[in-house]
Each structure stands twice: as C-alpha cells, then as structure tokens.
C-alpha cells in the first residue's frame, strides 16, 4: 500500500517537493522583485543607472556563487546521508539567512546574507527531484518532476504579490524565513527513497564528486547536462531582471516594473514546466521536448529585441513568452538525475542546476564587464551577442546529450 501511494504523481513526496520548490523560488527570486526598493533602502541612488546595475549585479552574483557552492555541499550530502537530510538542512539554513536579510543596512551585508541564503537554497530542487524520480515509475517521473517544478515556480508570483500587498521588502524576506519553518514541519512525514536505502546497504562509493571528473564518459555527460540549461538564467538574470532598463534603450520612457516582469515570466515558466512533462511523454523523448522549447526561446528573444517591442504592455507579453519558452527547467534537472547511478544521483541533480545558476556571474561578466565596460558596447548589443553565444553553446550541447526517457534508474556508478 505504501508503494502504491509513492507511485502516484500526487503522492505526499511530490506534493511536499512542490511546496518546497515553491518556497525555494519565492526566496530565490525575491531580490529581483524587490531589487530597486531594497537597493534604495540600503543607500543606493536609483537615479544613477550605473550604480544600480553595479550593486544589483554584485548582490545577485553573490547569491549565485552561494548556490554554486551549496550545490556541491548538498549534492554530496544527499548521496552520503540521504535525500531527506539535505531537505531539512537546506531549509534551516536559508530560513535563517532570510530573517537576517530583513535587517541588512549596507550593500556588503546584503550581498553576504544572500550568499548564505544561496548556499541553503541550493539543496532544495535537486534533492526533491531526485527523491521524486526514485519514488515514481519511469513512465510517470517526467510528469511528476514537471508538477514539482511547475507548482513550485508559482513561488515567484506569490513573492510579487507579497511585496505588492506589504510594500515592505524587509518584511517579505522575513515572511520567506517563516515559510521555510512551516515547510520544515511538513517534511517530517515524507519517506526516504527506497533506492537510496538499497544502495546504502551496498559496498559502493556514494557522493564522491570527483567521480564526475575521473571518467571521460561521466565527465562529458556532466558538462553537457549543465550546458543545456544555460538559457534559463540568461533570460531571467539578464533580460527579464533588467527589463525596465532594456525598455529605456528600446523605446524610451517607460513604467516597466522589473518585479512585475519577473512575475509574468514565472507564470510563463510554471505553465511551460507543467506542459513539458506531458510533451516529453507525448514524444517519448526528453530531447525533442527540449528542442521545441529552445526554438520558442529563440523566437521570444527575437521579439524582445525587435521593433515590435515598443511599449510596456508588449514588454510584459514578451517577458511572459520568454518565461514559457524557458519552462524546461524540470526536464533539464530530471535529465541530470537520470544520467547517473543512485550513488551519484543526488550529487548530479543538485550540482547541475546550481552550476547553471552559478553560471550567471560568468554571463554577467561577459555581458557587463567585457562587452559594456571594456568594449563600450550599448546595453542592447551586449545582450544580443551574449544571448547568441549562450544559445549556440546550448544547442551543440543538447545535440550530444544522451536521451534518458526510457532509462531505468536502478543502477550504480562504478
């Protein structure tokens, strides 16, 4: 009877994983939603575009570096100590960090608090996706993980309306901390993965991240699994996050609210992430579903920089379309989990999405520091060239990535 419950896409594990990702996304995206009022609250002059861009880039870079480091820590722990230990530990850390963020008074303190939060937030999705992937049969795991991501991504919408209602960015961070504590209590009744229990009894190495680098085939799979997810954070971290600044360059005076643009984009992402599970099921292929969404991403980016994007309403519509077209996060993370054995699965599924999130500082380095600051390119030109480079890398990586739709997950890496 217990197994039957676990095999449903609406099992307790799926529901709690979805709620966990909901809180994760609320906290992860909150800075982009309260960016300008919070920067003003710690002494930044919003009239100074250069100062705003420098401060916001610094804070989000610290948060993403935290995600990168946290992904490694929690991924190893997930394979060594179990998927649930990660879910408990990560929630506790990012809840504390969110409460602290509610009291910061300088850019330095803000950046450091988001760094700690990033470390905590890194464990949520990978451990949840790994747990759900291992509990559900292979014909349902794509839909199950899509539901986790799709429902969870509405956390960004909740974050936007929380700020709209409270108009207090500090309170929003404290609410995020409170949601984490509630989630911690819900997690108590969730069971550990049976596959993990079986591997725990075997004499195999678990959670050794060096195993991704000591075997050429594994290393290639690992790198490709990261690169296929790059467009997601280029779209959110650059285009949508700075949508009001792009609007100024594209059509002049505007009233675009980047927090509202983030909300619309995440509505699109959430719908896309739910649909892609069914699309993958229809095609019986993860890669065909990815190619479809990559094509939509290219079309949406073209519209973003086209003359058609000439007023605030159209900017919001395009941000929604961009979000929908990058709604392949669930399948991308599921593919990362499916490509590796049970003794490395949590390490893969946790580090891979956080490596993608951690790539944002590198994308920002190219977009801002190289193209704008060093080469003197305009905002739009810098973004277009950065986007083209990201998409070329992604398409080549997807072509060489293994198809994992029919793969049996009951195996270990030697």
- CA 316, distance to chain mean position in Å, is 21
The structural domain count of the chain equals 1
DSSP 119-185: HHHHHHHHHHHHHHHHHS-TTTHHHHHHHHHHHHTTHHHHHHHHHHHH--HHHHHHHHHHHHHHHHH
- Would 201 be classed as within a structural domain? no
pLDDT category, 4, cuts 50, 70, 90? very low
Q: Give 361-394 pLDDT, tens digit per residue.
A: 899 899 988 999 889 899 999 999 999 999 999 9
pLDDT of residue 7: 59
User: What is d(CA 82, CA 371) in angstroms, rounded to the nearest whole number?
Assistant: 44
- Would 390 be classed as within a structural domain? yes
- Would 407 be classed as within a structural domain? no
- SS3 at position 351: helix
- CA 331, distance to chain mean position in Å, is 12
Sign of CA dihedral 230, 235, 236, 239: positive
pLDDT of residue 1: 36
User: What is d(CA 177, CA 103) in angstroms, rounded to the nearest whole number?
Assistant: 12
pLDDT of residue 5: 45
User: What is d(CA 229, CA 300) in angstroms, rounded to the nearest whole number?
Assistant: 17
User: What is d(CA 330, CA 348) in angstroms, rounded to the nearest whole number?
Assistant: 14
For residues 251-261, average pLDDT: 91
**Count of CB atoms within 10 A of residue 108's CB?**
13
Q: In residues, how long is the chain? A: 414
- Would 195 be classed as within a structural domain? no
- Would 156 be classed as within a structural domain? yes
- The secondary element (H helix, E strand) that includes residue 13 is helix 12-33
For residues 69-88, average pLDDT: 82
pLDDT of 328 > 70? The answer is yes
pLDDT of 3 > 60? The answer is no
Burial classification of residue 43, based on how many CB atoms lie within 10 Å of its CB (0-12 exposed, 13-18 middle, 19 or more buried): exposed
For residues 103-132, average pLDDT: 88
**Count of CB atoms within 10 A of residue 48's CB?**
11
Name the nearest CA neighbour of 133 among 119, 148, 118.
148
User: What is d(CA 38, CA 259) in angstroms, rounded to the nearest whole number?
Assistant: 12
Name the CA radius of gyration of the chain, rounded: 20
Q: Higher confidence at residue 74 or residue 192? A: 74
| Whole-Å CA distances, 336 to 166, 263, 331, 345, 368 | 38, 27, 9, 8, 30
User: What is d(CA 414, CA 408) in angstroms, rounded to the nearest whole number?
Assistant: 16
Single pTM value for the model: 0.81
User: What is d(CA 132, CA 140) in angstroms, rounded to the nearest whole number?
Assistant: 10
Name the nearest CA neighbour of 98 among 173, 155, 20.
173
Token pair of 309 as six digits: 């994007």
Highest mean pLDDT out of 18-22, 38-42, 205-209 = 38-42
For residues 56-75, average pLDDT: 89
Token pair of 151 as six digits: 């429902």
Find where tokens 């809840």 sit. Answer: 95
- SS3 at position 316: helix
- SS3 at position 81: coil
Token pair of 414 as six digits: 């030697």
DSSP 85-126: HHHHHHHHHHHHHHHHHTT--SHHHHHHHHHHHHHHHHHHHH
Percent of the chain with pLDDT over 70: 93
**What does pLDDT average to over the chain?**
87
- Would 414 be classed as within a structural domain? no
Contact 70, 119 (CB under 8 A): yes
Residue 104 has phi, psi (to 5 degrees) of -70, 150
pLDDT of 322 > 80? The answer is yes
CATH number of the domain at 264, please: 1.20.1250.20
Token pair of 207 as six digits: 């959670």
User: What is d(CA 328, CA 292) in angstroms, rounded to the nearest whole number?
Assistant: 10
- Would 408 be classed as within a structural domain? no
- SS3 at position 339: coil
- SS3 at position 191: coil
- Would 278 be classed as within a structural domain? yes
Which residues form the domain of 312? 2-187+207-400
Considering only 163-172, 310-319, 399-408, which range has the smallest mean pLDDT?
Answer: 399-408
């Amino acid at each position: 009877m217990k197994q039957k419950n676990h095999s449903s896409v609406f099992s307790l594990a799926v529901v709690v994983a979805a709620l966990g990702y909901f809180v994760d996304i609320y906290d992860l995206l909150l800075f982009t939603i309260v960016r300008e009022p919070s920067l003003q609250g710690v002494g930044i002059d919003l009239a100074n575009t250069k100062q705003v861009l420098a401060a916001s880039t610094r804070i989000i870079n610290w948060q993403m570096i935290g995600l990168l480091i946290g992904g490694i820590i929690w991924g190893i722990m997930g394979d060594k100590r179990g998927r649930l230990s990660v879910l408990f530990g990560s929630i506790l850390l990012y809840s504390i960090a969110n409460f602290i963020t509610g009291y910061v008074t300088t850019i330095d303190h803000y950046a450091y608090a988001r760094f700690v939060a990033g470390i905590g937030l890194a464990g949520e999705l990978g451990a949840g996706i790994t747990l759900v992937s291992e509990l559900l049969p292979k014909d349902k795991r794509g839909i199950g993980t899509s539901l986790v991501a799709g429902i969870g991504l509405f956390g960004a919408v909740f974050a936007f309306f929380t700020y709209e209602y409270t108009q207090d960015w500090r309170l929003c961070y404290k609410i995020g901390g409170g949601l984490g504590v509630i989630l911690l209590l819900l997690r108590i009744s969730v069971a550990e993965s049976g596959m993990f229990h079986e591997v725990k009894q075997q004499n195999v190495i678990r959670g050794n991240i060096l195993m991704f680098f000591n075997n050429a085939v594994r290393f290639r799979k690992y790198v490709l699994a990261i690169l296929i997810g790059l467009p997601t954070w280029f779209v959110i971290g650059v285009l949508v996050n700075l949508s009001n600044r792009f609007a100024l360059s594209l059509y002049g005076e505007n009233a675009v609210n980047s927090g509202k643009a983030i909300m619309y984009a995440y509505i699109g992402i959430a719908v896309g992430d739910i649909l892609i599970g069914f699309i993958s099921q229809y095609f019986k292929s993860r890669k065909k579903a990815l190619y479809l969404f990559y094509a939509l991403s290219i079309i949406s980016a073209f519209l973003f920089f086209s003359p058609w994007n000439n007023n605030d309403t159209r900017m919001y519509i395009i941000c929604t379309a961009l979000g929908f077209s990058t709604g392949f996060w669930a399948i991308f993370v599921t593919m990362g989990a499916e490509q590796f054995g049970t003794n490395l699965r949590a390490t893969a599924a946790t580090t891979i999405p956080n490596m993608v999130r951690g790539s944002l500082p590198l994308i920002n380095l190219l977009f801002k520091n190289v193209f704008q600051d060093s080469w003197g390119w305009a905002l739009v030109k810098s973004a277009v060239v950065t986007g083209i480079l990201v998409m070329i890398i992604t398409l080549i990586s997807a072509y060489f990535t293994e198809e994992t739709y029919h793969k049996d997950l009951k195996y270990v890496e030697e």
